[in-house]
Chains A and B, each alone.
Chain A
Amino acid sequence: MSGTFLSGMRTLARGAREEPRLFGTAIVGSAVYGAGTAATGWLVGRVTDRVVVPAVTGSGSVGTAEVWLAGGALMAVTVVTVAGILVRRIWAGMVAFALQARYRRLLARRYLDLPLAWHHAHPAGRLLATAGSDVEATWQAMFVLPFALGVVVLIAVAGVAMAAADPVLAAVALLVLPALLAANVVYQRRMSPRVTRVQQLRGEVSTTAHESFEGALVVKTLGLGEEEVQRFAADADRLREANVAAGRTRGGFEPVIDALPSLGTLAVLVVGTFRAASGAVGVGDLVQIAYLLGLLAFPVRSFGWVLSELPRTVAGDARVQAVLREGATTPWGERSLPAGEGAGPLAVAADGIGYRHPVPAADPLDERADVPEQFVRRGEPRAPRREPVPALAGVTLDVAAGSTVAVVGGTGAGKSTLAGLLVRLVDPTSGTVLLDGVDVRELADGQVAGVAALVPQSTFVFDDTVRGNIALGLDADDVPAGRRVDDDDIWEALRLARADGFIAALPGGLDELVGERGSTLSGGQRQRLALARALVRKPRLLVLDDATSALDPTVERAVLDGLAASGTGTTVVVVAYRPATIALADEVVHLERGRVVDRGPAAEVAARDAGYRDLVTAYARAARERADEAQHGTGMA
C-alpha cells in the first residue's frame, strides 16, 4: 500500500507539474475554501459571544444594526467561501480533463508511430482501454486532490482558532479528527478491493452476456440455451454476493463515520460545561468548537477518497507509460524514389526474407509490484506456450518492373505476410526487401507509401466521407501540389476501380458518410473503395492481397485491364486462388508453409508442382472426378 501511495502521489505530482497554472489556481481556490470555512466557524463563535448572548440573555445592550452587521459579516465570509469552492471544483476538473486530453493525444501519436509488428503483438481492445478508461483512471484522483489539500488548510486554521478559544476544548474536539481520519482510511482500504471486485464481476457478467448473445445462433442451433442460463446465473450470483459484501462494508462504515462527529460534539458539550463552570470558556467558545466539528466531518472524507483513487492512478499510469515508453521504432533512411505517373513501374525483390510473428505482449501490470493484484485485467489472451513457427523463411523473389505476379498458397502459407513485407508494413526478421534495388530500410519516411500501395484482404473504412476515405489526408492544403489529389483524381480512381457507379448513386456522392455512423457498404463495394484508395495514389507497385475476392471475375478483369491501359503501367503482385485471376499474371509464386516451393509461368508451375495443382484446380478436378464417378456408377449416393 505504501508503495502504491508513493507511486500514486508521484504520478499526481507529475500531472501538477504538467499543468502548473490550472493546478495552482485549483489549490488557491481550495485554500480560500478551507480558510473561509474555518472563518465561518470562528465568526459564529464570536457573534454568539458579542451579539447573540448579550442580546438574548439581556446581559448587554445590542443594537439592531449590530445584529444585521453580524449577519452581513457571516454572509460575506460565505460568499468568499463559495467563490473558493467554485474555483476549486472548476479548476480541479480543468486539470483532470487537460491531463486526460494530453495523455490521449500522446497515446494516439504513439499508436500512429509504433511499428505494426508492435501493434500485432498488442490486442486492440487493450490499447483502446488504455486510451479510454486507463487514462481516465490515472487522473480521477485529480478531481479530489485540490479538495484534500484545501481541507489541510481548513484543519490548520480551525485548529488554531479552536486552540485560541480554549486549548482543553480544542484538544477534546481535535481528538475526533484522528478517529475520523482512521475510520475513513480503514473504510477506503476495506472498501476498495470490494468495489474493484464488484467492477471486475460486472465485467465478467458483461463478457459472458456479450459472448452468449453474440453466439446466440450457435447456442440455439445446438440447443445450449439452458447451459448458457446456468453459466450466466452463476456469474450473476457471484456479482450478487460481491454487491452484498460491498454493501455490508459500506453500510457498516457510513453510520460510524456519521456518528463520530456527533460523539465528539457531545464530549465537547460535557467538557465545555465543566470549563464554563470554572469560568474558563464562554458560550461562544463552546458553540464555535461544536459548530466547527460539525463542519469538519464531511471534508475530512476527502482524504479517504484520494487514498481510494490512488491504486487506480498507479494501475492506469502503468499501462499508459508502458505504451509511451515503448522503444520500438521503425528505422527510416534518407533515400528517396521518384513517385507519380512519369516514374514508370517499380521493380520489387525479396532477398532471403524470413518473418516470425511477434509474441503477444503481456499486460504491463503483470510486472508491477506496486499495483494491487485486483487491478490486473483478466480475460486477456494468454501468451502461447510455444514459440510461434516462422510465417516466412528464406523467401526470395524478383518481380520485374511492369510485370504481374500471382502469389498462390493454402491457408496459413504466409501470403498476406509477404504482401505486407513488400510494402514495408513490417520489416522482415531476416533478409531484405528491395524496391528498384534499394533496401526499403534506407528509404525516408513516407517514401514507400509514395510509390507502393497495398490493398488488404479486409477493408478498413474510416468514419468519414467517401472523399476522406479515398484521399486519407492527401486532399489537405498542406500537401505539396504534386501529391495533392482533387475530386477529379478521386473520380478517376473510382472509375478505374469500377466504383464510380455506386458512389455516384449515393445521395451524398463523394460527401456521403461511410463507416461506423454512415452508409454501410457491401463487401464488394468496400473492396472497390479500397482499390480506389490505392489507385488514387498512382502507385508504381500495387499489391493486392486477395483484394478482388468479392468482385465478379469480369469486374476484376476490367479493373486489372484498366490499370494496364491507364498509361505508364504498374507492377502488380496479386494474392489469389481463382484460376481466372491467376490467368492475368505473367508468373506465379507458390508458397507453402512460409517457403517458396515453385515459381514460373502458370502453365509450367502447374505442370511440375502437384501441390499447386491441388490448390488451383481443386474444384475443377473435383467436378471431373464426380463426373467420372457418375459415369461409372461409383458415386456414393
Chain B
Amino acid sequence: MSTSTITGGGSEAGAQGGVLRRARELTPQFAEGLGVTLAIAAATTIGKLVVPIAVQQTIDTGVLGPGGPNPGRVALLCAIAAVVVVLTTCTAWVVNVRLFRATEAGLASLRVRAFRHVHDLAVLTQSGERRGALVSRVTSDVDTISTFLQTGMLVLVLSLGQVVLATALMFFYSWQLALVVLACFVPLVFLRNKLQRPVARAYAAVRVRMGEMLAAISETVVGADVIRAHAASARSRRTVDAAVEAHRQQAVKAQVATAATFSTGVLVSGLVVALVIVVGTLLGADGDLTLGRLLAFLFLAQLWVGPVQATTEVLNELQNALAGWRRVVDLIDTPVTVPEPAGDRVKELPAGPVDVRVQDVAYTYPGTDKTVLTGVDLHLPAGSRTAVVGETGSGKTTLARLVTRLVDPAQGRVLLGGVDARDLPGRELHRRVVAVPQEGFLFDATIGENVRRGEPGATDAEVRAAFAELGLGDWLDGLPEGLDTPVGQRGERLSAGERQLVALARAHLADPDLLVLDEATSSVDPATEVRLQRALEGVLSGRTSVAIAHRLSTAEAADTVVVVDSGRVVEVGPAVELAHAGGPYSRLHAAWTAQHA
C-alpha cells in the first residue's frame, strides 16, 4: 500500500532506485548499521499491540472468566505487558538515536561535498538569484532531507509495521470485522492522497504571496529615501496593504484545505468505531466473536488512525526530501568547466614575474554561441605593465579572467611562464596569479582580518605595511578603530571606494607574481586614485601586471596599452604613441581630455 502511494508510477520508481544507488555512493554513512537498526525497529513495533491484547485478555479471561472475575490473572498479564511496554520504549529510543547519528553524519558530508563543488565550478557568471539557489543546495535542501529523516522516516517505518501487525491481529480475532475496518481506512488513504494535492497547491501559492508581500514591505525600508524625497508614501501604503491582504486570504484558503483534509481522518475513525460496535455486536450475538475481541478492535482500529493521519504529511515530506536530494546530487554531478589538471599533466609555474602569452584565443559563453573574444594574440613579458581599455561589453574583463584562469578559452591557449594555464594546479596558480575584481568583496570581519586572507599568518605590522606601501597609511590611521574596524556584511559599512582600497591591500599582501586589476580603483575619488596609481607603480615593480582601465589615467601609466573593441584586440602600443595614432585610442583619449581638462 505504502510503496504504491509513494511512487505512483513506474518511471518514478526507477528514479528512486537510482536515488538509493547514489545514496550508497555519496553518503555511505546512511547504510552503516542499518540492518541492526531495522531489526530493533521491527521488534519495537510489537509494543503497540500490548494494549489491545491486554484488553481482550482482561475481558475474556479476566472479567468474564469462567469462574467469575480473576484479578490475579489480569494483574500478572498486565505486569508482563507493562514490562514489554517499558522495553519497547527503550528500544525505540535506541532506534531513533542510531538513525539520527547515521543520517546526520551522511548529510554533513553531503553538505560539505556540495559546498566544495560550488567553489570548484566556475562561479563567475552567477546572478544573485542563481547564487541564492546554490546556497539553498547546501542549506535548505539538505535541511529538508534532515527534517524528513528526523521526524518522517521513523513515523513511516514504525507506522508501516504498526499497521501490518494491527491488521494481522484483527484478522486473527475476526476476519469479517477486519474487512470492515480495512474497507474504511484503505479508501481514506487514497482519498487523502488526492486531497493533499490541492493543499500542496494552496501552500505553494501562499509562498508566492509571501514573497510578494515581503518584497512590498522591503520597498518601504530599502526605498525609504526615495519615498520620503518624493512624498510617495500613499502609493507604498496601498501596495503593502494589497500584498498583505492577498497573503492573508491565500493563507486562510490553505488553512481551510488543511483542516478539511485533517477532519476526514477524524470522521472516518468515528465511522470505524460505530461500525465496529454495530457489526461486532451483530457478529457477537451470533456467537462468532467474543466480547474481549470485539472491544480489542476499538483499540486496534486506533492503531490505524495515527498512521493514516500522519502518512499523508510524511509522504509529502518524503517528496520534498527526494526533490531536495535530487537537487543536491544534480549540483554535485554538474561538470566543472575549469578542471584541475590530470596527475600526469601537472606542471609548475616558474619562479619570478610571470610571462604571459595569449595565443589565438577565442572565448564563448558556455552553452551559448555568444562570442565574447576572438582571435586574440598577445605577449606580456615578465615584469611588464599592461593596461586594457575598451567600451563596456568589449570583452576586456573576459581577457582578464582568461589570463588568471578563472575561465578557459574555447579555442587557443593561455601560457603562463611558458606553461599552458590548464596544466597548473588551481591552488598554486591562484596563490601567485591574483586578480582584484571591480566589486571589492569583503568578508564580514575586520579590515585586518580581510587583508590577512591574502596572506594567512601575516602580522598586524605586515598588514599595516601593505597599506602604507600603497600610500593608504593616512586613510587607515583616519579610521577610529584602524585595522580592527568591522566592515559588516559584504563590507557594506565601508563605502564602495574604501572596499576597493582594502581589496587592493589584500592583493598586495598576497605578493603575487602576476597581478590583474579589473577596474579595481573605479570607485575611489580622483585625488586618491591618482595617489594610488603613483604608489602602485612602485609596488608593481618586479611583478607582471595587467590593469583593466575605465579611466584613461590608468592607461597612461602603463608600458603598453591594449585596446579591445567588440571582442577583438584592435590596437597595441605605448599610450603616448597611440594617443596620436588616429585610431580608436585617439578617440577615447580626446573624449577623456574634454571631460577632465
Q: Do A and B assemble together?
A: yes
The answer to the question of B224 belonging to the interface, with a C-beta cut-off of 8 Å to chain A, is: yes
Interface residues of A in 436-464 (CB under 8 A from B): 445-446, 449-450, 453-454, 456, 460, 462-464
16 A-B pairs in the complex with CB atoms less than 8 angstroms apart = A56-B289, A82-B263, A93-B251, A100-B248, A128-B221, A211-B443, A221-B406, A221-B435, A240-B104, A246-B150, A270-B71, A273-B63, A381-B486, A411-B498, A615-B525, A636-B537
Q: CB distance A410 to B273 under 8 Å?
A: no
The answer to the question of B186 belonging to the interface, with a C-beta cut-off of 8 Å to chain A, is: no
Q: CB distance B139 to A202 under 8 Å?
A: yes
Give chain A residues whose Cβ lies under 8 Å from the Cβ of B131: 210, 213-214
Q: CB distance A472 to B235 under 8 Å?
A: yes
Give chain A residues whose Cβ lies under 8 Å from the Cβ of B430: 220-223
A492 to B565, CA, bound (A): 35
> What is the minimal beta-carbon distance from A347 to any residue of chain B, in angstroms?
20
Q: Known contacts A101-B244, A614-B527, A620-B596; decide if A56 and B220 are in contact (CB<8 Å).
A: no
Q: CB distance B444 to A211 under 8 Å?
A: yes
The answer to the question of B436 belonging to the interface, with a C-beta cut-off of 8 Å to chain A, is: yes
A82 to B270, CA, bound (A): 9
Interface-lining segment among B6-14, B193-201, B291-299, B345-353: B291-299
**Which of B104, B228, B427, B444 touches A379 (beta carbons < 8 Å)?**
B444
Q: Known contacts A52-B291, A132-B217; decide if A111 and B596 are in contact (CB<8 Å).
A: no
The answer to the question of B30 belonging to the interface, with a C-beta cut-off of 8 Å to chain A, is: no
Q: CB distance A636 to B541 under 8 Å?
A: yes
**Which of B115, B244, B263, B593 touches A85 (beta carbons < 8 Å)?**
B263
Q: What 1/0 mask marks residues of chain A from 43 to 55 whose CB sits below 8 Å from any chain B CB?
A: 0100110011101
The answer to the question of B34 belonging to the interface, with a C-beta cut-off of 8 Å to chain A, is: no
Give chain A residues whose Cβ lies under 8 Å from the Cβ of B252: 90, 93-94, 97
> What is the minimal beta-carbon distance from B356 to any residue of chain A, in angstroms?
16
Q: CB distance A269 to B597 under 8 Å?
A: no
* 4 closest Cβ pairs, A-B complex: A251-B96, A78-B270, A473-B235, A223-B430
Q: CB distance B266 to A78 under 8 Å?
A: yes
A472 to B235, CA, bound (A): 6
A218 to B47, CA, bound (A): 58
Interface-lining segment among A2-10, A162-170, A286-294, A505-513: A286-294
Q: CB distance B85 to A263 under 8 Å?
A: yes
The answer to the question of B31 belonging to the interface, with a C-beta cut-off of 8 Å to chain A, is: no
Q: Known contacts A78-B271, A78-B274, A82-B263; decide if A283 and B291 are in contact (CB<8 Å).
A: yes
Q: Known contacts A85-B262, A206-B139, A615-B525; decide if A265 and B227 are in contact (CB<8 Å).
A: no
The answer to the question of B203 belonging to the interface, with a C-beta cut-off of 8 Å to chain A, is: no
Give chain A residues whose Cβ lies under 8 Å from the Cβ of B507: 222
Interface-lining segment among B53-61, B367-375, B409-417: B53-61
Q: CB distance B291 to A205 under 8 Å?
A: no
Interface-lining segment among B164-172, B462-470, B551-559: B551-559
Q: CB distance A619 to B596 under 8 Å?
A: yes
Interface residues of A in 171-228 (CB under 8 A from B): 202, 205-207, 209-228
Q: Known contacts A213-B118, A218-B437, A615-B527; decide if A128 and B218 are in contact (CB<8 Å).
A: yes
**Which of A74, A100, A259 touches B85 (beta carbons < 8 Å)?**
A259
Q: CB distance A462 to B139 under 8 Å?
A: no
**Which of A224, A244, A265, A385 touches B54 (beta carbons < 8 Å)?**
A265
Q: CB distance A462 to B55 under 8 Å?
A: no
Give chain A residues whose Cβ lies under 8 Å from the Cβ of B552: 619
**Looking across the interface, which residue of chain B has its beta carbon closest to that of A267?**
B78
Interface residues of A in 65-119 (CB under 8 A from B): 67-68, 70-72, 74-75, 77-79, 81-82, 85-86, 89-90, 93-94, 97-98, 100-101, 104-105, 107-109, 111-113, 116, 119
Q: CB distance A112 to B278 under 8 Å?
A: no
The answer to the question of B323 belonging to the interface, with a C-beta cut-off of 8 Å to chain A, is: no
Give chain A residues whose Cβ lies under 8 Å from the Cβ of B551: 619
> What is the minimal beta-carbon distance from A314 to any residue of chain B, in angstroms?
23
Give chain A residues whose Cβ lies under 8 Å from the Cβ of B460: none
A450 to B229, CA, bound (A): 9
A90 to B90, CA, bound (A): 38
**Which of A74, A216, A446, A537 touches B274 (beta carbons < 8 Å)?**
A74
A428 to B541, CA, bound (A): 48
Q: What 1/0 mask marks residues of chain B from 415 to 427 whose CB sits below 8 Å from any chain A CB?
A: 0000000000011
Which of B115, B299, B486 has the largest number of chain A CB atoms within 10 A? B115
The answer to the question of B226 belonging to the interface, with a C-beta cut-off of 8 Å to chain A, is: yes
The answer to the question of B394 belonging to the interface, with a C-beta cut-off of 8 Å to chain A, is: no
Give chain A residues whose Cβ lies under 8 Å from the Cβ of B217: 104, 107-108, 111, 128, 131-132
The answer to the question of A322 belonging to the interface, with a C-beta cut-off of 8 Å to chain B, is: no
The answer to the question of B586 belonging to the interface, with a C-beta cut-off of 8 Å to chain A, is: no
Give chain A residues whose Cβ lies under 8 Å from the Cβ of B96: 247-248, 250-252, 254-255
The answer to the question of B360 belonging to the interface, with a C-beta cut-off of 8 Å to chain A, is: no
**Which of A227, A270, A449, A453 touches B456 (beta carbons < 8 Å)?**
A227
The answer to the question of B92 belonging to the interface, with a C-beta cut-off of 8 Å to chain A, is: yes
Q: Known contacts A270-B75, A460-B225; decide if A75 and B63 are in contact (CB<8 Å).
A: no
Give chain B residues whose Cβ lies under 8 Å from the Cβ of A57: 64, 291
> What is the minimal beta-carbon distance from B95 to any residue of chain A, in angstroms?
8
Q: What 1/0 mask marks residues of chain B from 261 to 289 whose CB sits below 8 Å from any chain A CB?
A: 01100110011011101101110110001
Give chain B residues whose Cβ lies under 8 Å from the Cβ of A77: 270
A67 to B271, CA, bound (A): 14
Q: Known contacts A71-B274, A423-B229, A577-B525; decide if A90 and B281 are in contact (CB<8 Å).
A: no
Q: CB distance B93 to A411 under 8 Å?
A: no
Interface size on B, residues (CB 8 A): 179
Interface size class of A (residues with CB under 8 A): 35 or more
> What is the minimal beta-carbon distance from A17 to any residue of chain B, in angstroms?
19
The answer to the question of A361 belonging to the interface, with a C-beta cut-off of 8 Å to chain B, is: no
The answer to the question of B312 belonging to the interface, with a C-beta cut-off of 8 Å to chain A, is: no
> What is the minimal beta-carbon distance from B169 to any residue of chain A, in angstroms?
16
The answer to the question of A368 belonging to the interface, with a C-beta cut-off of 8 Å to chain B, is: no
Interface residues of A in 231-269 (CB under 8 A from B): 232-233, 236-237, 239-240, 243-244, 246-248, 250-252, 254-256, 258-259, 262-263, 265-267, 269
Q: Known contacts A220-B123, A270-B74; decide if A116 and B224 are in contact (CB<8 Å).
A: yes
A51 to B89, CA, bound (A): 37
Q: Known contacts A225-B120, A233-B112, A236-B112; decide if A97 and B526 are in contact (CB<8 Å).
A: no
A112 to B239, CA, bound (A): 12
**Which of A226, A256, A620 touches B427 (beta carbons < 8 Å)?**
A226
**Which of B68, B115, B404 touches A277 (beta carbons < 8 Å)?**
B68
Q: CB distance B490 to A214 under 8 Å?
A: yes
> What is the minimal beta-carbon distance from A50 to any residue of chain B, in angstroms?
11
A26 to B497, CA, bound (A): 57
The answer to the question of B214 belonging to the interface, with a C-beta cut-off of 8 Å to chain A, is: yes
The answer to the question of B330 belonging to the interface, with a C-beta cut-off of 8 Å to chain A, is: no
A44 to B270, CA, bound (A): 11
**Which of B229, B428, B453 touches A425 (beta carbons < 8 Å)?**
B229
A270 to B107, CA, bound (A): 47
Which of B108, B429, B510 has the largest number of chain A CB atoms within 10 A? B108
Q: What 1/0 mask marks residues of chain A from 598 to 637 whose CB sits below 8 Å from any chain B CB?
A: 0000000000000000111111111100110010000011
Q: CB distance B74 to A248 under 8 Å?
A: no
The answer to the question of A156 belonging to the interface, with a C-beta cut-off of 8 Å to chain B, is: no
Give chain A residues whose Cβ lies under 8 Å from the Cβ of B442: 215
Q: Known contacts A221-B437, A255-B93, A256-B89; decide if A472 and B244 are in contact (CB<8 Å).
A: no
The answer to the question of B488 belonging to the interface, with a C-beta cut-off of 8 Å to chain A, is: yes
The answer to the question of A62 belonging to the interface, with a C-beta cut-off of 8 Å to chain B, is: yes
> What is the minimal beta-carbon distance from A248 to any residue of chain B, in angstroms?
5
Interface residues of B in 365-413 (CB under 8 A from A): 385, 404, 406
Q: Known contacts A55-B285, A217-B124, A222-B510; decide if A277 and B69 are in contact (CB<8 Å).
A: yes
